Structures are given as structure tokens and as C-alpha cells.
A and B are shown apart, each in its own frame.
Chain A
Amino acid sequence: MNKILITSLISLMLVSGASADTDGQNTMSKKSPGKVRDCFESLNRATFSLNQGLDKVIFKPVAKSYRSLPSSVRTGTSNALINISSLITIPNNILQGEFKTAGINTGRFVVNTTIGIIGIFDVAEKMGFSEYEKEDYGQTLGKWGVGAGCYVVLPVLGPSTVRDTVGSFINVLGGDPYYNASTHGNNEYLSDSIYMTTKVLSGVDFRAKNLESIDNLEKNSLDFYASVRSLYLQDRQQKIANSNPTIEIMYEGDWEEVESQ
């Protein structure tokens, strides 16, 4: 039943994404970075306000408490969460044709899960493995040339696009080995609740790392919603490009026009 519901939702989103894509403004694939339309802006702004309320009451206080934990505990937790994320990164490396990176990430995962005790210690980094970069199904779809579709703000989860939301659904449709092992695996160590705890902890860890920067951004923004949207879309664009972000997102044309003023 759940799968039917999820498949229906994905179909609906792909359809709305496809129709929104026809005006040519909302392509954010590697081939043609450009504008992503905010088709549901009123609804998105309402959801954004709801998320801000939840953040104020729940997430921010929890993140502050988490920050008061010893640095070694936070680093270990963060390392373990990053290690788990490689279970999504590795299949996406392969789907993007990055076989060498997939091999390196697999090696990193094996080393950190075993010698690094379920990823708490990033032994691989000390052994000289190259810098780890997360990949997900939204990025893979973008790399394959799928347009971003409209910008959406999801309750609790925050900013996304139709394509990235579809990418997230792929995780629960079999694309995330950790989810599969937690929900369908017959083992005594993992369960639905452990999976959910991991996801919540990832959110808290992210919020705790960005306490000051988010506060600062909110305080100095004229339109906080628009700032967050811009930052999210820039971030996704550079992650899909998988190359030196600074040079690629320069939009030289915009700056050259300033010259002629």
C-alpha cells in the first residue's frame, strides 16, 4: 500500500515537474544551468513559515543542546552519519559513471566501518583517502539531464525541487541499502526506529553546525525565504556540476554587464 502511495506521488510530481519544465526556465541540469521557477511560491512561503516555527520551538533548542556535548562526541557522531551516507553515495557514483570514485568510497566505507568502529573515527582520511563528497539520486538525475522542475519547500525537510524530491523517494524505494536493511532486513541490530533516529540526528547535526550562519543570514536578509531559496539552488547546481564550483557558477555575463554601466 505504501509503495502504491509513493509511486502515485512520484508520478504526480514528475507530471507537474514535466509541465513546469516546458517553459524552459527551470532547467538546472549540468548542461544548462539556469533559473528554477518557484511555481508554488505562496504555498512554499507558508510551509517555510511553518518550518521556521518548528525550528524555533524544536530544532534550534535541540541543536543548541547537541552543541553543548563534548567536541569528540559530536565529531564521532558526524563521522558515523557521513559513513552511513556513503551507502547512498556509492550507487550514485556508479550511476554517474564515476567508477573510480565509487571504488574509493567503497574502500573508505569498509575501512571506517571496521577499523573506524562503525564510522566513528575517520581512519580513511588519515590513511590518505581523497576528500569525500556526498552524492544522491537528485544529483544523479540532474547529471543525466533531468530538469529541476519547480522549487518546493517540504514540511520539516525544507527546501527542495521536484527532481530532488523524486530523488529522495528513490531512497525509500530500494535505493538506500541502509533503509532496506533497517526496514526489511531480518537482523537484530537495525530497525525502523533506528533508521528514523539516524535521519533526525543528521538534521540536528546539520542544524548545530550552522547555528550562527543561519541566524546571521536571517538577521541580515531582506527576504529570508528568497535568500534560502537562492542558496539551496546554488548549492544543488554546484553539486550536480561536480567540478570546481567557484569557476562554474560565476555567471560572467552578469558581471561583464556591470562593466558597461
Chain B
Amino acid sequence: MLKKKILLLITFLIISFLNITKVYSIGPDTFVQSTVNRAAKTLGGNLTKDERVEKLKDIAKDTVDIRAIGFYSLGSYRKNLSNKEMKKYQEVFAEYFLKSFSSRLAEYSNPEIEVVSKKKINENYTIVFSKLVATETRPEVKIDWRVYTKNPDNLLIRDLIIEGLSLARTQKEEFSSIISSSDGDINALIKNLEDFVTK
């Protein structure tokens, strides 16, 4: 009888937990808007540039699928890498990405981004459409977000498409250019990434 009660209690707790996670999972559009709001709060606050950069890095770690972007950016070269090379690449790529991402964003002060709509591409991806509101010096800019939705409780950004131009694709073609100009040697890319991180 006691065993049965314990079993029921465990079952109840599991169901409750599942319900709680379901209740708290948010849609890709809300996820993007809240991420943008976090970044805007950081950029609009009274922080030094270094503090801003660190905060932006934290936001990126929470919301961007850095590992997947690293894979994607390698293009077809990823198939030729040894485990050791891949590990080394992923480590330096993460550092490169965080530095590049935070440096790009830290230049903006108080950006106002409004989520407009969303479109589900397939089970894994939803595109969230947004716009960067125009200012005196800059026209309105369309920004679309490729959100990885495979795990609804852990949504992650995989690409930013600014006025139809994919940042991930640009990075992939940039990496490809570096590797191919070194006869397919991945170490040339790793060296470039290391130089960027340390400069």
C-alpha cells in the first residue's frame, strides 16, 4: 500500500514537473523579443564598454547556439577534421564568436527592435521577423532571426539575417576563403581565429 502511494506521488511529481516546463516554455517570437530587450537594456544602461561587452557575452552564451554555428561555418571542411582538430576549432571559435558578436553590438546605443511576425520553416526552425527602428542617422533595418526550436524549452538563435543577408552564411564563406587559400589547411583558419581573439 505504501509502495503504491510512493509510486503515485512520484508519478504526480513527474507530471507536475512536465506541466511546469510546458507552462514556462515560450514561443520563438517572445524568446527573440526578450533577448533583444535584455541586450537593449545592457546597451542603454550606464555601463562602461568593457562591462557592456561582458554582459553581451553572457546573453550570447544563454541564447545563441554557438557550437552549431561553428559547425555550420566550417561548411564541407567539417567532414575532414579529426576529433582533435574539431575540439581545438570549437574552443577557439567560441571565443572568436563571443568577441566578434559583443564587439559588433557594443557599438550601438539604445537600439530599438520590434518583433513583427514569425514563420515556422520546419520542426527544427522558425524564422522570427523583426525591425530595427529608424533613427536620425539610420534607416529602418529588417532583421530576421533563425531560431532552433527542436527543444521548445531551450530555444537558441542560429542565424541573423539582416536585410536578407545571412551573417552565418557570410561567415561560412569567409572561413571557406581562408581555408581554400591555404590548400584546405584548417590550421590556417584556427591561426586566424586565434589572432583575432588575442588582438
Q: Which residues of A contact B (CB under 8 A)?
A: 67, 71, 209, 212, 216, 219-223, 225-227, 229-231, 234-235, 238, 245-247, 249-252, 254-256, 258-259, 261
CA distance in complex: A143, B71 (Å): 33
Closest 5 A-B residue pairs measured CB to CB?
Answer: A245-B164, A226-B177, A230-B173, A238-B164, A226-B174
Q: Does B158 contact A (CB under 8 A)?
A: yes
Within 8 Å by CB of B78, from A246, A247, A261, lies A261
23 CB-based A-B contacts, threshold 8 Å: A67-B137, A71-B136, A209-B138, A209-B139, A212-B107, A216-B107, A219-B103, A221-B174, A222-B178, A222-B189, A222-B192, A222-B193, A223-B177, A226-B173, A227-B173, A230-B169, A230-B173, A234-B164, A234-B170, A238-B165, A246-B127, A252-B122, A261-B68
Q: A222 — nearest CB in chain B belongs to which residue?
A: B192
B19-32 Cβ-contact flags toward A at 8 Å (1 or 0)? 00000000000000
- Given known pairs A222-B193, A227-B174, the reply for A251 and B68 (CB within 8 Å) is no
Q: A245 — nearest CB in chain B belongs to which residue?
A: B164
B101-123 Cβ-contact flags toward A at 8 Å (1 or 0)? 00110010000000000010110
A249 touches B127 (CB 8 A): no
Residue numbers in B under 8 Å from A223 (CB-CB): 174, 177-178, 192
Q: Which residues of B contact A (CB under 8 A)?
A: 68, 71-72, 75, 78, 100, 103-104, 107, 119, 121-122, 124-125, 127, 129, 136-139, 144, 146, 158, 161, 164-166, 169-170, 172-178, 189, 192-193, 196
Residue numbers in A under 8 Å from B124 (CB-CB): 255-256, 259
CA distance in complex: A67, B176 (Å): 36
- Given known pairs A235-B164, A246-B144, A255-B158, the reply for A220 and B103 (CB within 8 Å) is yes
B174 touches A230 (CB 8 A): yes
A249 touches B121 (CB 8 A): no
Q: A225 — nearest CB in chain B belongs to which residue?
A: B177
Q: How many A-B residue pairs have CB under 8 A?
A: 87
A249 touches B139 (CB 8 A): no
Residue numbers in A under 8 Å from B138 (CB-CB): 209, 212
A235 touches B119 (CB 8 A): no
B71 touches A261 (CB 8 A): yes
Nearest CB of B to A197, in Å: 23
A251 touches B169 (CB 8 A): yes
B170 touches A227 (CB 8 A): yes
CA distance in complex: A231, B144 (Å): 16
> A220-B100, A246-B127 known; 15 other A-B pairs, CB under 8 Å?
A209-B139, A212-B107, A222-B196, A226-B173, A227-B170, A230-B169, A231-B170, A234-B166, A234-B170, A245-B161, A246-B144, A247-B127, A254-B172, A258-B68, A258-B71
Within 8 Å by CB of B170, from A67, A71, A219, A230, lies A230
B136 touches A231 (CB 8 A): no
- Given known pairs A67-B137, A216-B104, the reply for A258 and B170 (CB within 8 Å) is no
Nearest CB of A to B131, in Å: 13
CA distance in complex: A220, B178 (Å): 15
CA distance in complex: A234, B174 (Å): 13
B164 touches A222 (CB 8 A): no
Nearest CB of A to B138, in Å: 8
Residue numbers in A under 8 Å from B68 (CB-CB): 258, 261
B104 touches A220 (CB 8 A): yes
Residue numbers in A under 8 Å from B173 (CB-CB): 226-227, 229-230
CA distance in complex: A251, B73 (Å): 13
CA distance in complex: A245, B158 (Å): 17
Nearest CB of A to B169, in Å: 7
CA distance in complex: A225, B170 (Å): 11
Q: A233 — nearest CB in chain B belongs to which residue?
A: B173
CA distance in complex: A222, B99 (Å): 13
Residue numbers in B under 8 Å from A247 (CB-CB): 119, 121, 127
Residue numbers in A under 8 Å from B176 (CB-CB): 226
CA distance in complex: A73, B71 (Å): 47
CA distance in complex: A251, B121 (Å): 12
Nearest CB of B to A203, in Å: 17
Residue numbers in A under 8 Å from B121 (CB-CB): 247, 250, 252
